[in-house]
Structure 1
Amino acid sequence: MSLVDLTRDLVSIPSHEDEAAAGDFLEAWLRRETDADVTRDSVGNVIARKGTGEETLAFVGHHDVVEPAASQVADGSGDDATEYAVEERDGRLYGRGTADMKGAVAAALLAFRDADPAGELVVASFVGEEIGGVGAQYAIDGGFSPDYAVVGEGSTNYSGQDVTDVAVAHKGRRGSTITAHGTAAHASEANAGENAIYRATAAVDRVRDLERPSVDAAGERLEGRLTVTEIEGGTAMNVVPARCTFTVDERTVPGERAALERVAALDGIEWTVDQDLPAMRCTDEAFAEAVLEAADGVQDGDPELVTKPHATDAGWLSAAGTECVIYGPSEPGEAHTDDESVSIGVLERCRETYRRVAQRWPTAG
């Protein structure tokens, strides 16, 4: 089966609400095409292992996707289930999940099958990446702990056109709700109450004054960001509000967080963390350089070590002790779009890079 055919088959399987059918496909393919030890856990993660060695290298992806646009769905008839539409034109495959990230999963599957690995080699496709990495967290909690991982999220066109780079760090995301509590009163007797909106605006001012952490990675300055994104409060025009809430989107950097506890220290303020996706940074320079060398050998451009602005499952793996890099075909602005697509040539590039990395890493000391 060609990489295009495998990508097409995988992309066509709906997996934005239920990943089971895509997981069935992955499990069946691995059992049919390889002699690997294949497992499927209770949440639907598909993991296969082959080779032996003291250290483990994993190719990591996910087979869930965001909801497709109407143009990305092909309605079946009779007993045929609705499928996602997949179209090939101008050297690209178009369809929901081609870039994010079933194309990379297909490339990793073929590399896994074809490689004669230097150590234990694992391929893992997780569920629930698009909703906070629930599959990755479940696998890690269950003992999934490779020494090294290449995560197939997008790293193409970061340093230059038609170059697939190696991302060695990315930002995380912490989403918070700040709740200001006050005391209701009639607006004609405003002094009898405590205005929660006033307390909330004081908290917003403090958010704006907080220092945004930053770190150096791959010769770049990776900077955090704090943004107030929503606000809600009050019940009527003539009532002093007893409650006001606002949300904060924080882009975190490896090892650092903004001091939101300073906001929570204000009178009447409650701080709740709603989501916390960890940042990632590879600290093993030899591993990063080995992947970069493999990437350099399969493309005309000159790939670089770069950083990535988006959180991925690499953050969860990194937090658990796995040395991670990101190398994949998706380009900035390509994922989650109504005309999502992936370059077939870059998919082939990723497949060969993955195979070469598997055969050279871990090194023999």
Structure 2
Amino acid sequence: MTTTVAELTRKLVSIPSHEDEDKAGEFIAEWFRRETDATVEHTKAGVIARRGNELTAGNRDTLALVGHHDVVPPADSQQDGEAYVLEERDGRLYGRGSADMKGSLAAAMCALRDTDASCTVASFRGEEQGGVGVRNAIEDGFAPEYAVIGEGSTGYSADGVTDVAVAHKGRRASTVRARGQAAHASEPESGENAVYRAADALDVLRALVPPEATVLDHELRGSICVTGIEGGSAWNVVPESCEITIDERTVPGERCDIEAATANGAVEWEIDQDLPPMACDDDAFAQSVLDAAADAQPESSEPAFVTKPHATDAGWLAQEGTTCVVCGAAEPGEAHTENESVSLPVLDRCYRIYRSVIERVGVD
């Protein structure tokens, strides 16, 4: 009996994968081998199932549906011993990873099974750790011409509508460190106060204007936010060090000039994480996915091109020349929450969207 999207989602969500992704990866690989005629690779990057995509000029896959099977740690209510807790009510499946993003992954897996056209489905490890899996895959030559990333795009233009995201922000996390010279606080002039130097750097950071970008007529604006400051060792000691942590949401193109905060020479800047943004560079491909989304939804629904505030694996692929969009079942506010859930009817919709995209874009 053919496994449905809902059944496969339940199985995937039930497999713990916040610390060790091996069991989830093994299940996915074995499912592909059993249910499809795809060539399956299970490596340190994750699972890649390729059917017929062998390969276009330049040794590239034509089309890939991309997801990940790692999840963030569950809340106490989402775990019973080593098992994940699943609940189903009112047409929704509740559980860690249901929205982010095992539901959309299940839809992509079933879409590959039920079509004859060429396509690759990839489920990567370590997306929640900064795209570890997709970066390993890229190092091994994974660079499809086109990719649909199954992260959330439902409910952006209107409640319940599955849209197509043509851009998303990146995230650059960094630390500004100010150095000083310790001294007794009763004689502050005999030292150099690192907190004061950090305050000067903070003035520079607050004056920065985040850049903007336009992608397929949609505006995307970056942001910068100081999220922490720490310095000093005792109430009677002039502080010799002070750190400022910064969360920056980046857009394609320019970045905030954080380095300007280091102009006095006693301040250093270190980038701790840099997740790239994504911008679709092919309006025809984006339109084909939007058409597929429109065909899979009621006539009263009008899916639209939208942008996402969150970084995804699409950023790493776009950086390597893959034309990407994001289209998936998760709605804003579902991922990483104690009540994470996904709509089962929307998963069926995503299955139809992915199947249509394969038939429109995949090589017969």
TM-score under structure 2 normalisation? 0.95
C-alpha distance in structure 2 between counterparts of 1:218 and 1:283, whole Å = 8
1:17 equivalenced with 2:2 (yes/no): no
1:72 equivalenced with 2:73 (yes/no): no
- Describe how 1:194-233 pairs up with structure 2 within 5 A: 194-233=192-231
Aligned partner of 1:183 in structure 2 is: 181
1:244 equivalenced with 2:242 (yes/no): yes
Alpha carbon RMSD of aligned pairs, Å?
1.2
On the 8 A contact 1:149/1:324 being kept in 2, the answer is: yes
Aligned partner of 1:56 in structure 2 is: 62
C-alpha distance in structure 1 between counterparts of 2:338 and 2:185, whole Å = 48
Cα displacement (A) at 1:44: 4.9
- Describe how 1:1-365 pairs up with structure 2 within 5 A: 1-41=3-43, 43-52=44-53, 54=56, 56-75=62-81, 82-117=82-117, 120-300=118-298, 301-362=301-362
Cα displacement (A) at 1:236: 1.3
Cα displacement (A) at 1:161: 1.2
Q: Secondary structure at the match of 2:187?
A: helix
C-alpha distance in structure 2 between counterparts of 1:24 and 1:362, whole Å = 26
Q: Secondary structure at the match of 1:49?
A: strand
**Overall identity of the aligned pairs, in %:** 59
Cα displacement (A) at 1:215: 1.0
Cα displacement (A) at 1:188: 1.8
On the 8 A contact 1:19/1:64 being kept in 2, the answer is: yes
Q: What per-residue deviation string (whole Å, max 9, x for no partner) do you get for residues 4-58 of structure 1?
A: 11100010000000000000100110000011110011x2500010124625100
Cα displacement (A) at 1:340: 0.7
Which has the larger displacement, 237-246 or 327-336? 237-246
Q: Secondary structure at the match of 1:352?
A: helix
The size of the alignment, in residue pairs, is: 355
Aligned partner of 1:79 in structure 2 is: none
Q: What per-residue deviation string (whole Å, max 9, x for no partner) do you get for residues 38-89 of structure 1?
A: 0011x250001012462510000000001111211234xxxxxx32111211
C-alpha distance in structure 2 between counterparts of 1:95 and 1:342, whole Å = 9
On the 8 A contact 1:299/1:349 being kept in 2, the answer is: yes
On the 8 A contact 1:56/1:121 being kept in 2, the answer is: yes
Q: What per-residue deviation string (whole Å, max 9, x for no partner) do you get for residues 158-211 of structure 1?
A: 000110000000000000000000111112221111110000000001000112
Cα displacement (A) at 1:264: 2.1
C-alpha distance in structure 2 between counterparts of 1:246 and 1:181, whole Å = 12
Q: Which runs of 5+ in 1 are unaligned?
A: 76-81
Q: Secondary structure at the match of 1:293?
A: helix
C-alpha distance in structure 2 between counterparts of 1:220 and 1:357, whole Å = 23
Cα displacement (A) at 1:105: 0.5
TM-score under structure 1 normalisation? 0.95
C-alpha distance in structure 2 between counterparts of 1:44 and 1:58, whole Å = 15
C-alpha distance in structure 2 between counterparts of 1:150 and 1:188, whole Å = 62
On the 8 A contact 1:218/1:307 being kept in 2, the answer is: no
Letter of the 1:58 partner, please give it. Answer: A
On the 8 A contact 1:218/1:306 being kept in 2, the answer is: no
C-alpha distance in structure 2 between counterparts of 1:150 and 1:122, whole Å = 10
Which has the larger displacement, 220-229 or 167-176? 220-229
Q: Which runs of 5+ in 2 are unaligned?
A: none
C-alpha distance in structure 1 between counterparts of 2:342 and 2:208, whole Å = 40
On the 8 A contact 2:153/2:165 being kept in 1, the answer is: yes
Letter of the 1:247 partner, please give it. Answer: T
C-alpha distance in structure 2 between counterparts of 1:197 and 1:50, whole Å = 58
Q: Secondary structure at the match of 2:186?
A: helix
Cα displacement (A) at 1:265: 2.1
On the 8 A contact 2:201/2:261 being kept in 1, the answer is: yes
